[in-house]
Structure 1
Amino acid sequence: MVIIEGLLPPSRENWETVCYIWQFFPVITAFQWVLDWYPQGKTSTNFSLNIPGKIGWATMESAGFITLIYIMLSLPRELGINELPWGNWTMAGCFVIHYFYRAVVSPLFLNPSMSPIHPFVWVLAFLFQMFNAISLGGWLAGYGPTTVHEWGGRFWSMEIGLVIWAWGLLGNMFHDDDLREIRRAADRKQRKEAERTGKPLDGVDKVYMLPKNGLFQYALYAHYLCEWIEWAGFWMVGGWNCTPARTFLVNEITTMLPRALQGKRWYEKKFGKEKVGNRKAIIPGLL
């Protein structure tokens, strides 16, 4: 079923246009390099139109994997392709696994709480997901490799890429959960105190501590680094000429790196440079 003629699923001309525009997303996020204003998460602000954290996160992040699944199921029929190679479905599966965890499982079932999200951030994240899904989806669903032969001869690099992707995902999950444990521990403490004194719960929406386990000993945003590793492996699976996967990784880095540097300044302001110590923002020992 065609949702938007020529775009969902995309025609080849429109897909190429989306891929071209998508390369310039770092220009849109360049404001992060000069401003510390980022109304989401620990740096969220009070605004009457803020979107509740869990709902906002789930809706903006789900757009990508839902759109990619739709394109994978609809575009081949439009192009007369009877069956896509297993390599295409493998990459699509990697993408869906990550974002189902990130967009559904994490915010709706695992996170104790999430700070509200400014509509501006929601719109940018939604656009990120849509451009990325159309770019990757078009490549995987008919405008990239369409036969097993096109994947041949590089199985070893695909296997290595999948291993890198998997370790990156597991590292991302581990460090995400370490951040969650900070609020889970605070919630347990509050509930124990409430049972003893009858005092109402304060909530843990704005409870922050310096994370300290795993790579957090060396970098404050180790979960970002693990996600970069994950998508570097993903790009390796697709091959170095897989432009959509490369663009995705570049856009992730250029979006998340200034955010991590902002976050380090926030940690230093809240807890003091002495407590932050020698920990870097995102790359241990370097940055």
Structure 2
Amino acid sequence: MPSSLLLTPAYKTVLSSFHLFPLHAPITLFGLNAPHGKFALENSRLNLNGKLAWFSMEIVSPSMALYTLYTSLKASSTSLSPPTLLLLVLYLIHYANRSTISVLRSEGMADSHIAPWLAAVGFNSANGFLLGRYLSMNPTGPDAFSNPIYWAGVTLWVVGWAGNVAHDEILLSLRRRSRLLSSFPSSVSSTNDSSKKSKPLPASSNSITIPSANPAQPFRTYFIPDGGLFRFVSFPHYLCEIIEWTGFALACSSPIIVASTLTAEGFFQPGLVSAGGWRLLTPAWVFVINEIAALVPRALAGHTWYKEKFGKRMPKGRKAIVPFLL
């Protein structure tokens, strides 16, 4: 059970507020695309460097989680149980790859408008605070290593994380190829005929080349990703990330799930209700729901973009994020 010292009004307020995040999904579903990535506003004065923006907004989550975890453990004079410590390591592995390794390995990232950057910093700050405080309560208990549901959750996390990394690697490879094709024109204007414009090198039947407002890269080449789950969906890395955090939440809730005989009790934060009297989900499960609310609309918008740009070249039957369904 959580220490009453850790169930502070601030924790309750942030957790209650975080439950409201999915309300943005209907707005996002009906045409409001965050201006970054494929939907970046190339000429906006409010744009931020893509790599710097990505690193700075993603590093917030583990930084906040570690700070909150440290101060919470110190205040309650407790330490992490080995099962909870393992979950912390998994969490940090994800964000080490997401915030730093992927940025260092990427040759370039599209600029990001300051609006989604600010939203991401706010989201990651709240999420890091909540998960840091939640893990300090040792939700797994000391005996989770003998709990099959705990290991089922850890296994699900590993499968999701591996799938996320593998499909991101496919996208990184395509971005490298895109920069190569977009940076070298097939014909250079002669000094005697300045009216001729350079054209991009031909790519392939599964690619398109679009003019760019960036003088350093006058063309952008996009590909239809292939391989792995890309055969079934346009955004398998999103699907794998949802699977990953579902496994994490399942492992966190494993003692309660077993004790309550697989009822919904494991989804709720013990000892807390909202100001309106409704029970609050644990931060781990709220994170899963918020990931779904954020990633599903983004996947649907991106899938529509692919279909509009590539038309009949898009593989028949490919869905946005859930194979055969969505």
Q: TM-score, normalization: structure 1?
A: 0.86
Cα distance in 2 between the residues matched to 1:24 and 1:36: 18
SS at match of 2:325: coil
Shift of the alpha carbon at 1:283?
Answer: 0.6
Shift of the alpha carbon at 1:115?
Answer: 0.6
Deviations 1:96-125 (A, max 9, x none): 110110011111x11121111111101111
Amino acid at match of 1:168: G
Aligned to 2:262: none
Aligned to 2:299: 260
Alignment of 1:86-165 (within 5 A): 86-107=82-103, 109-142=104-137, 144-145=138-139, 148=142, 151=144, 154=147, 156-165=148-157
Cα separation, partners in 2 of 1:204 and 1:55, compared to 1, 3 Å: farther
Cα distance in 1 between the residues matched to 2:217 and 2:240: 29
Cα distance in 1 between the residues matched to 2:246 and 2:76: 29
Amino acid at match of 1:170: A
Aligned to 2:71: 74
- Asked if structure 2 preserves the Cα contact closer than 8 Å seen for 1:168 and 1:229, the reply is yes
SS at match of 1:206: strand
More strand by percentage: 2
Q: CA RMSD in A?
A: 2.7
Deviations 1:203-246 (A, max 9, x none): 49833111011100110001100111111111111015251111
Matched, 1:184 2:185: no
Amino acid at match of 1:247: V
- Asked if structure 1 preserves the Cα contact closer than 8 Å seen for 2:235 and 2:320, the reply is yes
SS at match of 1:162: helix
Aligned to 2:208: none
Shift of the alpha carbon at 1:273?
Answer: 4.3
Cα distance in 2 between the residues matched to 1:203 and 1:278: 33
Shift of the alpha carbon at 1:166?
Answer: 0.6
Amino acid at match of 1:182: L
SS at match of 2:221: coil
- Asked if structure 2 preserves the Cα contact closer than 8 Å seen for 1:172 and 1:224, the reply is yes
Cα separation, partners in 2 of 1:145 and 1:53, compared to 1, 3 Å: same
Amino acid at match of 1:223: H
- Asked if structure 1 preserves the Cα contact closer than 8 Å seen for 2:149 and 2:250, the reply is yes
Q: Of 161, 165, 188, which residue of structure 2 is paired with 1:173?
A: 165
Cα distance in 2 between the residues matched to 1:152 and 1:88: 10
Shift of the alpha carbon at 1:252?
Answer: 0.1
Deviations 1:245-273 (A, max 9, x none): 11000000011101100001111111114
Structure of greater Rg: 2
- Asked if structure 2 preserves the Cα contact closer than 8 Å seen for 1:42 and 1:206, the reply is no
Matched, 1:226 2:240: yes
Cα distance in 1 between the residues matched to 2:6 and 2:120: 20
Cα distance in 1 between the residues matched to 2:220 and 2:75: 49
Cα distance in 2 between the residues matched to 1:48 and 1:115: 14
Cα distance in 2 between the residues matched to 1:35 and 1:236: 33
Shift of the alpha carbon at 1:34?
Answer: 1.3
Aligned to 2:276: none
Greater mean deviation of Cα atoms: 240-249 or 257-266: 240-249
- Asked if structure 1 preserves the Cα contact closer than 8 Å seen for 2:178 and 2:222, the reply is no
Gaps of 5+ in 1: 1-8
Tell me the percent identity. Answer: 31
Cα separation, partners in 2 of 1:186 and 1:204, compared to 1, 3 Å: farther
Cα separation, partners in 2 of 1:204 and 1:128, compared to 1, 3 Å: farther
Aligned to 2:211: none
User: Aligned pairs, how many?
Assistant: 273
Cα separation, partners in 2 of 1:44 and 1:189, compared to 1, 3 Å: closer
Aligned to 2:31: 35
SS at match of 1:207: strand
Shift of the alpha carbon at 1:38?
Answer: 2.1
Q: TM-score, normalization: structure 2?
A: 0.76
Aligned to 1:271: 310
Cα distance in 2 between the residues matched to 1:60 and 1:165: 23
Amino acid at match of 1:26: P
Cα separation, partners in 2 of 1:10 and 1:63, compared to 1, 3 Å: farther
